[in-house]
Amino acid sequence: MSIVVTGATGHLGRHVVEQLLEKVPADQVTAVVRDEEKAAGLAGRGVRIAVADYNAPETFDGVFAAGDRVLLISGNEFDKGRVGQHKAVIDAARSAGVTLLAYTSAPGGLTAALADDHRGTEEALLGSGVPYVLLRNGWYHENYTENLAPVLEHDAVVAAAGRGRVSSAARADYAAAAVAVLTGEGHENRTYELGGDEAWSFTEYAAELSRQTGRRIAYHEVTPEELTGILAGAGLPEPLAAVFAGVDVSVARGELVVDSGDLSRLIGRPTTPLATAIATALKG
């Protein structure tokens, strides 16, 4: 039996594997990657490496074995049919007879286009008959704190979120929830709505940035159309820019407030405060 993590060298996957290695022997962990070189460090620590690509279903043949527990981390290629990519993994897991497949989804109340692929994947997973866990991850702190350069350049947080609030948490928090499910018992066929303990507004985000930098940083609210143009001007393809602007519309509607408490209960501690993530990013 192995605990198998797809996308294991990605932003979230690395956190998951590192935390798994604190709980189980390395030879019980399989890291699924597209680029074997990026996983050299994990291989050196005794982790099994499997090379497979969401875009090539046949590469998942033999990756899973009966009794495995699998974490399917959603792909980030928005233009390549993510539901089909994910279904290839689900089909391979079903054929192998895995005992659990956990999927990193999106909050259940999210209506933005970003959630469409997640809903399609959830339907495929539930229809597969594989014992499942839906990890409906809320927004990550790092979605904001890893992109502070333009904020600090212009002393402005630009968003189309109105007065909406976000229950974000650190990637490491969501990884800890996945590890709890993969190494624990009693999670089969459960859905967890995951988010940070404290929701925040963009005005509060700007105020915290101001406090930590000693600068006067304001929240500059724009329309979704304006934000799409700004993101496209920064180099994002316009369709993708519109998808991200659509998330801000959902924020304004309150769809990224997650008050279930599931995340802190799963990880057994409070979630990481936004202020901590900001401090870490500013030090970097």
Q: How many domains does the chain have?
A: 1
Q: Give pLDDT tens digits for 192-242.
A: 999 999 999 999 999 999 999 999 999 999 999 999 999 999 898 998 899
In a domain, 112, yes or no: yes
Which residues are CB-neighbours of 12 under 8 A, at least 6 positions away?
A: 73, 104, 171, 174, 175
Residue 35 belongs to domain spanning: 3-137+171-193+259-267
For the chain, give the percent of residues with pLDDT over 70: 99
Cα 198 to Cα 177, 265, 270: the distances in Å are 17, 14, 10
Q: Give pLDDT tens digits for 107-142.
A: 999 999 999 999 999 999 999 999 999 999 999 999
Q: Is residue 79 predicted with pLDDT exceeding 80?
A: no
In a domain, 162, yes or no: no
In a domain, 246, yes or no: no
Give the pLDDT of residue 193: 98
- What does the mean pLDDT of the chain come to? 96
In a domain, 236, yes or no: no
Q: Stretch 70-85: mean pLDDT, rounded?
A: 86
In CATH, what number is assigned to the domain containing residue 22? 3.40.50.720
Q: Stretch 66-85: mean pLDDT, rounded?
A: 88
Q: Under a CB-based contact definition with an 8 Å cutoff, are residues 114 and 246 in contact?
A: yes
In a domain, 161, yes or no: no
Q: Give pLDDT tens digits for 229-262.
A: 999 998 989 988 999 999 999 999 999 999 999 9
In whole angstroms, give the CA distance from residue 270 to residue 170.
11
In a domain, 32, yes or no: yes
